Amino acid sequence: MGIKIKNKSKIKRFSFPQCASLGYFGLLDLAGARRYRRRMSPRFVTLILLTALVALVPVRSPAPLVYTPGEGWTYEAYGSIGKWRRERAKDQLEVAQQAFDQKDYSLALRCAAYTLRTWPLSDFAPEAQYLVARCHEADGYDERAFKEYQNMFTKYPKSDKLKDALQRQYQIAMRFLNGQRFKLWKYIPFFPSMEKTAGLFDQIVKSGPYSDLAPHAQLRIGAAYEKQKNYPEAVAAYERAADRYHDRPIIAADALYRAGMSYTKQAATAEYDQGTAGQAIATFNDLMTLFPEDKRVSEVKRIILALKNEQARGNFKIAEFYAKQKKWNGALVYYNEVLLNGPNSPLAPTARERIDEIKQRVLPPVQ
């Protein structure tokens, strides 16, 4: 309902705050008045006009970031989309190679990947696959590069680039063996992993079992486990190399030496495990028997002597334990082991004395 005003000439003009203070809410709703004033704000009107102007002006949106399966996100400047594309696989691969030679790895990857998608069965596809892997390697994505090189063995097993791909894989694996970190989410260097590194070398052996790199890769499997202090796995890898490549003296001798050293390191971590030291000695003896001219023979002899002394020390401690328990037969056995394994050991004289004492205790006097 409205309010009738009889004498309009006596109407006074009030500002909005005055109306509010006087309680004239019936004449004008407060919330509506505020909306009215906001709509009539010069800034608000200006904003509306500018928005309308921008909306009416014709502009182009180039969308410079483009995602392509197999390539990832790439940048396409406006007007450049399609300039690098060709109608034939050969021409497309040439563009990729030229970009790679100019160290424009982003464009080279785009062109090579486009070649694979468009002409996957062409004679130029293996070269394009190799170039994809090279681009990832050049950009520092070694894990992705290794996988792309591996794709050559599964997709293009007759390619003449397989030897080069295997060499590249070996170089990548060597970088990880030397301490390069694997990346978290493909970008953040996170941690070195000898387990994963051993897996890379194992893949190389499987991909090229008769290649010149396979024996070296098999040895590096052992080296990766040895760095991890996983000596049993290291020994297994070295012994596999010695057995599989026995017809290659340099490889076989190196494998036996490394296996013996891994046994030695493992023996040093086990106080009473004399079996591991015995395996180390046996492995070193195989090395000296099969390869007597090896330059490491003199070193091996010193290691064997140290191992035998270590065996003697371990046996002596066991014998002392039995002696304290007055288990004379057990003590006698291990004191004899000291003399058998380390006759020239510093503990050998003491072991002889203990043996004589036990015999006097156990054996009846001679009549």
At 268 the pLDDT is 80
Structural domains in the chain (count):
1
Continuous H helices in 125-230:
125-138, 142-155, 162-177, 194-207, 213-227
In a domain, 250, yes or no: no
Number of neighbouring beta carbons within 10 Å of residue 291? 18
Note down pLDDT in tens along the chain; length 367 residues: 444 444 444 445 545 445 444 444 444 444 554 554 545 566 666 667 766 665 555 544 444 555 555 445 555 554 444 588 888 999 999 999 999 999 999 999 999 999 999 999 999 999 999 999 999 999 999 999 999 999 999 999 999 999 999 999 999 999 999 999 887 776 676 677 899 999 999 999 999 999 999 999 999 999 999 999 999 999 999 999 999 999 999 999 999 999 999 999 998 876 556 788 889 999 999 999 999 999 999 999 999 998 888 888 888 989 999 999 988 889 899 999 888 877 888 888 998 999 988 888 876 655 5
Which residues are within 8 A (CB) of 77 and not within 5 positions of it... i.e. 6 or more apart?
Answer: 62, 64
In a domain, 17, yes or no: yes
In a domain, 25, yes or no: yes
Number of neighbouring beta carbons within 10 Å of residue 361? 10
At 206 the pLDDT is 96
At 25 the pLDDT is 43
**Model-level pTM?**
0.72
In a domain, 271, yes or no: no
At 312 the pLDDT is 86
Angle at 43 between CA 41 and CA 49, to 5 degrees: 105
Range of the domain at 31: 13-43
Contact 189, 176 (CB under 8 A): no
Question: Which burial class, exposed, middle or buried, applies to 217 when counting CB atoms under 10 A from its CB (0-12, 13-18, 19+)?
Answer: buried
In a domain, 157, yes or no: no
In a domain, 321, yes or no: no
In a domain, 295, yes or no: no
Determine the Cα–Cα distance for residues 294 and 301; give it in Å rounded to an integer: 12
Determine the Cα–Cα distance for residues 97 and 19; give it in Å rounded to an integer: 80
Please report the DSSP string for 306-350 in residue order.
HHHHHHHHHHHHHHHHHHHTT-HHHHHHHHHHHHHH-TTSTTHHH
In a domain, 268, yes or no: no
Smallest CA-to-CA distance from 361 within 319, 332, 321 is with 332
What tokens appear for 211 in the block?
């290649």
Contact 218, 208 (CB under 8 A): no
Residues facing residue 184 across a β-bridge: 188
Smallest CA-to-CA distance from 263 within 298, 306, 294 is with 306
